[in-house]
Amino acid sequence: MFTYQVDGTISLKLFETRDAEALFQLIDSNREHLSSWLSFPTMTWEVEDSKKFIESKRMSFAKEEGYWLGIWIEETLVGSIGYLYLDQDHRKTEIGYWLGKEFEGNGYVSRSVKALIQHAFVHYNLNKVEIGVASDNEKSRAIPEKLGFIQEGVLRDYELLQGRFLDRVMYGLTQEEWRNK
């Protein structure tokens, strides 16, 4: 199993089928909070939905197409982070993340994103990491801004969520920019 120890507190672990209950419970207890910015809570109504998600992402991991990891604080699942895709031809990826509302404000996402940036540049030798965030989601936008990403543009009316169109702000960080920090 893939595990990445971020620091003494945070570990990132490839989801296993046995994590489906914990994943579902975290999504279910944060459904309203997450649904403001993300579509998956509206597709996750039972543990079986989480199990199918885990199985599909494990297949993506095996094919090196991208994957999702649980963000764990000791034995508690607090959120998820992952590579939406791994594009070896163009040497880039996009990182996505979310956190249960009760776990916000502790730096868990920032530290996890830093770990995945390093992994992307060192392990996969990618040239660029991107992060796309809903323009009104100030907490999520703070992550790439704090980590030195460059805002590259805004995709207008990018997705329809909860009956409203959301713009998406795209951020990018190249390997050279990361090395020169």
Under DSSP, is residue 152 helix (H, G, I), strand (E, B) or coil?
strand
Whether 137 is covered by a domain: the verdict is: no
pLDDT of residue 21: 97
Report the CATH number that the domain containing residue 21 is assigned in CATH: 3.40.630.30
- What's the pTM? 0.93
Whether 32 is covered by a domain: the verdict is: yes
Instruction: Look up the domain containing 27 and give its range.
Output: 3-127
Number of domains into which the chain is organized: 1
Residue 159, judged by CB atoms within 10 A of its CB (0-12, 13-18, 19+), counts as middle
Q: What distance lies between CA 42 and its chain's CA centroid?
A: 17
> Quick count: other Cβ atoms within 10 Å of Cβ 139?
13
Whether 173 is covered by a domain: the verdict is: no
Q: Distance (Å, rounded) from C-alpha 21 to C-alpha 82? A: 19
pLDDT of residue 177: 97
Under DSSP, is residue 32 helix (H, G, I), strand (E, B) or coil?
helix
Q: Distance (Å, rounded) from C-alpha 84 to C-alpha 176? A: 22
List per-residue pLDDT tens for the chain, 181 residues long: 578 899 999 999 999 999 999 999 999 999 888 888 877 878 778 999 999 999 999 999 999 999 999 999 989 999 999 999 999 999 999 999 999 999 999 999 999 999 999 999 999 999 999 999 999 999 999 999 999 999 999 999 999 988 999 999 999 999 999 999 8
Lookup: tokens for 170: 């795209």
Lookup: tokens for 176: 């050279």
